[in-house]
């Protein structure tokens, strides 16, 4: 008998009908003899409705009261789901974050979980009840209601699984799992049966957004086996685990992530003296602009070119900051390019497989795609290219590394 | 500096605009230097919306989960009202029932308050904050969310006022206060500046429903001065107090209550032996039918007629029960009359004023209104009459006792 934590997001519980369908799904597991703890989000649309009410009053509502307000969304769902379970003859008990006691710090609207008391949940499981917990919320030391910020229900699920020492944490979503790349770009993209936490972190942060990144970090830290699967379709989903897949099928590459809407800024000809990178990047970061890829090349003349990427929407602001700073930096010029994108190969297998990078560059060269920036990490190679080539590049790489076909994937090593 | 508890119902906080208006009202009191604790209901319509969601799932939803669900309604209001106060520069803190700690018994959907911990509220008041508490809800010993049943926010207000030793509990509603009778029937009905708890209880239970009756009992028991007043119009409202009005203006009668939609049942010719009243009324009560006025008259032939009233909607059911029991009761016949109503004079002054009853009967006789049943208590005289005379009777009595005109009311004694 296993203890399973299941998390259902807002779309999965978006109507009474869907809540009833989720109840049926939960019961299937229960009937297999497993103990089930369910974490749910607010019904889709509810958080937006409540936020709109608050903003009718204040543009930036008091964070403490915002948490009191928004936490009602999940509270409605836990009650309705328990009713749907009870109606089917299964004992069910709902808990708000405060009732469980999910203790957080005091950072309203973006609180972090400090501790979870599993005793009330364990007591209910021992009585044979299904336990339904409100995601996204907790209480601070003084009993004030806090929320973990948008998407925080994933974190609640993983944290509960860790605290209860669950055998698996299942995150139900509207996709069947994690794919080798976005199936909308590459129709033959393959559903991964497993992936490591590190790979998942790289894929998630690079745009294949299935799971909230904080919850993946959390699961990795507390060694909670995490499974992503679909609420609406049957299937085993993707297991995110600590160990690399030890089966024969051991491809170097787990998947291909990409990021559209990137922009590239180059500060050219800055003096080659210590502190220049900070002087260039510092003011941009200070303005709240997230800087992604950063590369620096020494030119022949003893000056440096510092290039980095930002979200396209923030390029204009970053460009202005750099132009204003150009003189004091002693830079020759500031150049912006708003039409770039980033494509990344991700896979822990890279560690033990040589030649991945050259194979990647060859595949892109064969399509005449010019690489503007290259950055590498232990389990990732990213290239920045002209945006119009995005789909072509992803498809070429997917094919070059045989990601679409499980049978021949092993041969690509 | 006084401590005032104010309670605003669902209509008073039915929209963001109205919540903002309530905030303005609260601030007026705050600016007079008073400490304010506010109790609010769910926004009007919200409780019905949530109930409908639950009933899509189950006809009779699990009571525990129903409480989890419905308690979100008030939680939304406390957050929004605090935001409206904060926006105006006033410190405000919201509390759910569980956060205050309003401890109740475990009777979900109709819990009773056992104890209130005032310490967190006092601490916030000492810091100069306005405290906003969710009405209608509490927690049991185990921390399960409970609700006090519909209208329970009044009870929360009064119980909080008692626990905090408040100087006054103000119940804001959509009427200006308590009138001598229903102004829709008697346009010259007069707003009472004060009334005793006993009178209020009789008036409330008899149909002049301004306040939830449980809250009036509670206020009387804990000696909390209660004031009913309008959210939407200025005015002092009606003070419900322990002491009889000691001013010169001391009418015998506080007001006239009436109840439409009554029905009368008579079980005629039952043997005059002990236990008959129980044998007649018992089965009706056991069927969950509320029995109101009961009278018994001995007939000449040594048998009794037992007559009582019920809500008209339940008359048919009661009639059937009595017919089934008639033989075993040894009754001659069972008669029903679905077209009656009840009119009552209420006033603590009756105790010290003779002749009220005869004056009442005279006024009705002058209008040729036949009295079918008379019952009296220390502060009330009720008559059951044919329904078509209801308005006529109320107007005749209102005029006979000079209730409409404060100047001459004293003369009526």
Q: Give one DSSP letter per residue of B282-329, joined into a string.
A: HHHHHTTPPEEEEEEEE-TTSEEEEEEEEEGGGHHHHHHHHHHHHHHH
Give residue B352's pLDDT.
Answer: 72
Rounded to an integer, what distance in angstroms lies between the CA atom of residue B164 and that of residue A149?
A: 35
Classify residue A206: in a domain, yes or no.
no
Q: How many angstroms away from the CA of A42 is the closest CA of chain B?
A: 12
Rounded to an integer, what distance in angstroms lies between the CA atom of residue B326 and that of residue B320?
A: 10
pLDDT class for B247, splitting at 50, 70, 90? Answer: low
Evaluate if residue B413 carries a pLDDT over 50: no
For chain B, say whether A123 makes contact (Cβ under 8 Å). Answer: no
Of the candidates A34, A122, A130, A126, the one whose C-alpha atom is nearest the C-alpha of residue A85 is A130
Classify residue B345: in a domain, yes or no.
no
Give residue A131's pLDDT.
Answer: 98
Looking at beta carbons, which residues of chain A come within 8 Å of B49? Answer: none
Classify residue B90: in a domain, yes or no.
yes
DSSP at B41: -
Ordered per-residue pLDDT tens for chain A, 413 residues? 899 999 999 999 999 999 999 999 999 999 999 999 999 999 999 999 999 999 999 999 999 999 999 999 999 999 999 999 999 999 999 999 999 999 999 999 999 999 999 999 999 999 999 999 999 999 999 999 999 976 689 999 999 999 999 999 999 988 888 899 988 899 999 999 999 988 888 887 655 567 777 888 888 888 999 999 999 999 999 999 877 655 544 567 889 999 999 999 999 988 888 888 888 998 998 998 989 888 888 777 888 889 999 999 999 999 999 999 888 888 899 999 999 999 999 998 887 777 888 899 999 999 999 999 998 888 899 999 999 999 999 999 999 999 986 544 333 33
**Residues A290 and A382: beta-carbon distance below 8 Å:** no
Interface of B with A in 29-58 (CB under 8 A): 50, 53-54, 56-58
Give residue B246's pLDDT.
Answer: 53
Q: Where are the alpha helices (DSSP H) in A32-179?
A: 46-57, 63-87, 97-100, 119-126, 152-164
Is the same domain home to A264 and A383?
yes
Classify residue B325: in a domain, yes or no.
no
Query: In the predicted model, what is the mean pLDDT of residues B208-223?
Result: 80
Classify residue B73: in a domain, yes or no.
yes
Domain boundary among A142, A173, A204: A173
CATH number at residue B26: 3.40.1160.10
Tokens of B263: 């029905």
pTM, to two decimals: 0.81
Q: How big is the A-B interface in CB pairs under 8 Å? A: 108
- As beta bridge partners, residue B376 has B381
> What counts of helices (H) and strands (E) characterise chain B?
13, 18
Q: Tell me if A75 and B71 make a contact (CB, 8 A cut-off).
A: yes
Domain boundary among A141, A173, A205: A173
Q: Which residues, 6 or more positions from A255, have their beta carbon under 8 angstroms from its beta carbon?
A: A178, A179, A180, A181, A192, A195, A199, A203, A208, A346, A347, A403
For chain A, say whether B280 makes contact (Cβ under 8 Å). Answer: no
Evaluate if residue B206 carries a pLDDT over 70: no
Count up the domains in chain B and report the number. Answer: 1
Is the same domain home to A274 and A405?
yes
Classify residue B50: in a domain, yes or no.
yes
Give residue A209's pLDDT.
Answer: 64
Interface of B with A in 10-29 (CB under 8 A): 16, 19-20
For A87, which residue in chain B has the nearest alpha carbon?
B58
Higher-pLDDT residue of B164 and A243 is B164
pLDDT in tens, B255-289: 999 999 999 999 998 888 888 888 899 899 899 89
Order across the sheet with A113-116: list the strands: A113-116, A102-104, A137-139, A145-147
Is the same domain home to A162 and A23?
yes
Expressed as residue numbers, the domain containing A332 is 255-412
Give residue A205's pLDDT.
Answer: 62
Give residue B250's pLDDT.
Answer: 55
Q: What is the dihedral of CA B378, B380, B385, B388, to 10 degrees?
A: 180
Q: Tell me if B79 and A87 make a contact (CB, 8 A cut-off).
A: no
**Residues B411 and B251: beta-carbon distance below 8 Å:** no
CATH number at residue A374: 3.30.2130.10
Is the same domain home to A156 and A262?
no
- ipTM of the modeled complex: 0.79
Classify residue A168: in a domain, yes or no.
yes
**Residue B260 three-state SS:** strand
**Residue A304 three-state SS:** strand
Q: Tell me if B58 and A87 make a contact (CB, 8 A cut-off).
A: yes
pLDDT in tens, B27-75: 999 999 999 999 999 999 999 999 999 999 999 999 999 999 999 999 9
Classify residue B149: in a domain, yes or no.
yes
Q: Tell me if A62 and B75 make a contact (CB, 8 A cut-off).
A: no
Give residue A411's pLDDT.
Answer: 36
Domain boundary among A153, A173, A193: A173
pLDDT in tens, B349-366: 887 777 888 899 999 999
Strand ranges (DSSP E) for B200-247? 226-230, 238-241
For chain B, say whether A203 makes contact (Cβ under 8 Å). Answer: no
């Amino acid at each position: 008998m296993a203890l399973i934590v299941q998390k259902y997001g807002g779309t999965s519980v978006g109507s009474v009908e869907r809540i009833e369908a989720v109840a049926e799904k939960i019961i299937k597991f229960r009937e297999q003899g497993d103990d089930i703890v369910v974490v749910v989000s607010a019904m889709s649309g509810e958080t937006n409705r409540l936020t709109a009410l608050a903003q009718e009053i204040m543009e930036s509502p008091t964070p403490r009261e915002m948490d009191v307000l928004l936490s009602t969304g999940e509270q409605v769902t836990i009650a309705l789901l328990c009713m749907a379970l009870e109606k089917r003859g299964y004992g069910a008990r709902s808990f708000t974050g405060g009732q469980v006691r999910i203790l957080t710090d005091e950072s309203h609207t973006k609180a972090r979980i400090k501790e979870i008391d599993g005793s009330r949940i364990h007591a209910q499981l021992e009585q044979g009840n299904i336990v339904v917990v409100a995601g996204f919320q907790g209480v601070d030391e003084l009993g004030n209601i806090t929320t973990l910020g948008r998407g925080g229900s994933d974190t609640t699920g993983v944290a509960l699984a860790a605290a209860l020492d669950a055998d698996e944490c299942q995150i139900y979503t509207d996709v069947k799992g994690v794919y080798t790349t976005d199936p909308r770009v590459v129709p033959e993209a393959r559903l991964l049966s497993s992936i490591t936490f590190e790979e998942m972190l790289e894929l998630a942060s690079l745009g294949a957004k299935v799971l909230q990144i904080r919850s993946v970090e959390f699961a990795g830290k507390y060694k909670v086996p995490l499974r992503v699967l679909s609420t609406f379709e049957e299937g085993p989903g993707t297991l995110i685990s600590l160990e690399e897949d030890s089966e024969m099928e051991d491809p170097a590459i787990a998947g291909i992530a990409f990021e559209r809407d990137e922009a590239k800024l180059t500060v050219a000809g800055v003096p080659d003296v210590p502190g220049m990178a900070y002087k260039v990047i510092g003011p941009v970061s200070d303005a709240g602009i997230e800087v992604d890829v950063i590369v620096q090349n020494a030119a022949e003349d003893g000056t440096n070119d510092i290039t980095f990427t930002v979200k396209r929407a923030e390029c204009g602001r970053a460009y202005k900051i750099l132009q204003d700073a150009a003189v004091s930096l002693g830079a020759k010029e500031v150049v912006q390019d708003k039409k770039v994108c980033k494509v990344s190969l991700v896979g822990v297998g890279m560690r033990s497989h040589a030649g991945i990078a050259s194979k990647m560059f060859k595949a892109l060269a064969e399509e005449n795609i010019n690489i503007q920036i290259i950055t590498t990490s232990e389990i990732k190679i990213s290239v920045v290219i002209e945006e119009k080539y995005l789909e072509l590049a992803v498809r070429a790489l997917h094919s070059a590394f045989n990601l679409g076909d499980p049978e021949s994937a092993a041969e690509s090593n």
